[in-house]
Structure 1
């Protein structure tokens, strides 16, 4: 991995003095898309005419010294689960081909209000689930970019745009960011208004970006305009990116994925742990305190728990799609429907109780550690050549979310940073904080990214 991430926050100084313009910045993004899209395949559709018009308006505002926000003129991709008034929303699913509601998701509306340039819709896995789309990893086309925010992660990793919106229910923001070498924020549950995407209790809108600064600025500009989900206070934090802050105590979160982590990835993570200790940070592990051990114990089965909860909550949507057209969704999505069909309301209640216990165990760690760290994915992006006709479907074709489901189940903020490479491919490190402590997670992640040397294994 050698590409320098594309950033926006450091370009605005040139917008202000006239040395550069948002229109010229957009044209450079379009040139990169033209060069790389045939292989990466990150986009479903782009609106170049609309983007150029928006970039020209932004250029005028910067010229007059009146930008609407620090992200005025920033080209962005929008995951194709989120509605956009000027482009269709097809959700990677045959059942939604040609779906064009002609309205903006709350976060998309907020971005436009902040002056951002909505460039296009990025590929999602089918309905945000496990069935992959056509996108490839920007560092190795033989590998998955991750899912379900495949196109958003790949577009940022390929330097097509400085930021993009994704969504996460299990691991759909943090894992693809890890595979594509991005920073990303999966905020506190409900921290960013999901707009029409309110059907599931763990879905969260998040940000992929080439820098911590752009990541935070996009998130906070949305939250300042659209707030959080109904009944939620929305994202807390300063109007500018939080300053880097060294934590006093970091806890290691192993999860049930630790035992299966390959030796090279484990070694890379342990080098990060060693660097933290060398920088004066106290690092605690499960054997060091009974509350950490109790938390790790509560993580057993979390991946199955989150799958069951989300499967039940998506049950009627999937059932109705199949009723309309038996082939409307893939065999993978039909398997999720079959799992939900076997559940009862009592099963769902028991899963919710399991989730509540996990949340209490995590909240109890607040006096003990400033944040938790873990690999952001179980190693680098796996190879993905597609399903083989006549053989069973490949399990987890976009990678394993085992290190991501804890933050999704808890509803806690997680930030991933591209601090390690394994076999030349990116593997992120994630920082997880307490609920509503998104700024603290960001400050810790920024300090790690700015202070710790990159690790290659």
Structure 2
């Protein structure tokens, strides 16, 4: 039985219904476009949207299915792409007037992977300027006076608003996990190197990673499995088999998972409602969660992340700032000045510490299935505060390249969503998904 509102279908259900001929891709895409037309005047999640291009893709997917040819894992399912991901058929403007009307000569590799899987690229979602700090005009679907987070602002907002079942973003600090938390969606940044970055705006070669947004755990797994694969042109990519995240989301753990919680010194930045909610989750899971005081070396990794990020983004953006001056935001100009003041020795020392962090977490996950942590400081900030929120709750895990996801489990004091983050072992993303599925079931049983 297919519900009347096709925009409420999960990606897994939509793909199955299209393959079975119970709905058409064209009908699903039109439903998404209608919802966007009705609600995006306030949310403003989309940077590029061409109805004719979207529907042409959908009709082609329907023609392929009717002809009896092979169908892909996302056949006919619409997906939104953060507007730093190159597409030949839509402009890629990176949230900056500097790139207005920019047309890429080739698709990013992940765009070709999506199309090979039969996905319909619905459009390009908004991003903070150059995927950094200066906010875009997007609002939070739950309350238009609040930020959706950043820098993957439009991807989170579009999924939360029911514009599209799936969207792709990127994370260099906390740009997937935080907006997913603020908008009440599921968000996942897989292991560094799982997904190609070729054809994406580069801000930090050491830290940039691709992530996804969805409304179910299974949908996140399905999209990540489609995007994953080796890319010889990406130095972070690895030529090894990848775990199946969809299979992980559908699996039961052999034994109840063990989860660690680190009391970090910066947890004093948590809002009261976020702290109370996280404590309630820990209490509900009982003996499965073990709390630790964070060693100073662990908490200090946030500074290591900052050094690497500042150094690398400055060198990526130095010429752009020099050429375009006041067209670039004050946040980016300040980042370039700050990063250029970091010497080579300091940068190399930070990279060396990063390598030791990678080794620490290998040892840690011998004893624990996951780490639990805040996804963000609390509810989405008011737009009047002029920023997209604090990324500190994500930076250590991004630095170490670990898979991390956020579950939309909590509601704050004003009714806005708050996520709970889980972090897993590198290249064991399926194990992380399995642990997340167990946690969702366990908490549901406690209610």
What TM-score comes out, normalization by structure 1 length?
0.89
Paired residue for 1:204, among 201, 204, 209? 209
Partner Cα separation in structure 2 for residue 61 and residue 74 of structure 1:
14
Pairwise mapping of residues 410-449 of structure 1 onto structure 2 (< 5 A)?
Answer: 410-423=400-413, 424-449=415-440
Partner Cα separation in structure 1 for residue 418 and residue 241 of structure 2:
27
Paired residue for 2:136, among 117, 133, 136? 133
Pairwise mapping of residues 299-338 of structure 1 onto structure 2 (< 5 A)?
Answer: 299-338=298-337
Distance 1:326 1:196, change over 3 A: same
Moved more, 440-449 or 63-72: 63-72
Partner of 1:392: none
Per-residue CA distance 1:146-190 (angstroms, 9 max, x = gap): 111000000001110001110000000111111111111101111
Partner of 1:284: 290
- Structure 1 residue 196, shift from structure 2 partner: 3.0
- Structure 1 residue 238, shift from structure 2 partner: 2.4
Pairwise mapping of residues 47-446 of structure 1 onto structure 2 (< 5 A)?
Answer: 47-197=50-200, 200-224=205-229, 229-230=234-235, 231-233=237-239, 236-238=242-244, 240-242=246-248, 243-246=250-253, 247-277=256-286, 282-287=288-293, 293-294=294-295, 297-385=296-384, 387=386, 397-423=387-413, 424-446=415-437
Distance 1:250 1:240, change over 3 A: closer
Q: Is the CA contact 1:187–1:235 (under 8 Å) kept in the aligned structure 2?
A: no
Partner Cα separation in structure 2 for residue 366 and residue 105 of structure 1:
33
Residue correspondences, number: 434
- Structure 1 residue 368, shift from structure 2 partner: 1.6
Partner Cα separation in structure 2 for residue 266 and residue 30 of structure 1:
38
- Structure 1 residue 409, shift from structure 2 partner: 0.7
Moved more, 246-255 or 17-26: 246-255
Partner Cα separation in structure 2 for residue 455 and residue 261 of structure 1:
25
Q: Is the CA contact 2:370–2:425 (under 8 Å) kept in the aligned structure 1?
A: yes
Per-residue CA distance 1:377-403 (angstroms, 9 max, x = gap): 11111112265xxxxxxxxx1000111
- Structure 1 residue 323, shift from structure 2 partner: 1.8
Gapped regions of structure 2 (runs ≥ 5)? 1-6
Q: Is the CA contact 1:220–1:235 (under 8 Å) kept in the aligned structure 2?
A: no
Q: Is the CA contact 2:284–2:446 (under 8 Å) kept in the aligned structure 1?
A: no
Partner of 2:28: 25
Partner of 2:3: none
- Structure 1 residue 14, shift from structure 2 partner: 2.9
Partner Cα separation in structure 1 for residue 211 and residue 189 of structure 2:
5
Partner of 2:4: none
Gapped regions of structure 1 (runs ≥ 5)? 288-292, 388-396
- Structure 1 residue 240, shift from structure 2 partner: 4.0
What TM-score comes out, normalization by structure 2 length?
0.91
Q: Is the CA contact 1:419–1:455 (under 8 Å) kept in the aligned structure 2?
A: no
- Structure 1 residue 64, shift from structure 2 partner: 4.5
Q: Is the CA contact 2:157–2:183 (under 8 Å) kept in the aligned structure 1?
A: yes
Moved more, 10-19 or 335-344: 10-19
Partner of 1:393: none
Partner Cα separation in structure 2 for residue 38 and residue 377 of structure 1:
27
Distance 1:13 1:83, change over 3 A: closer
Partner Cα separation in structure 2 for residue 228 and residue 317 of structure 1:
18
Query: Would you tell me which structure has more helix in proportion to its own residues?
Result: 2
Distance 1:179 1:402, change over 3 A: same
Please report the RMSD computed on the Cα atoms of aligned residues, expressed in angstroms.
2.2
Q: Is the CA contact 1:191–1:234 (under 8 Å) kept in the aligned structure 2?
A: no
SS at match of 1:346: helix
Moved more, 79-88 or 240-249: 240-249
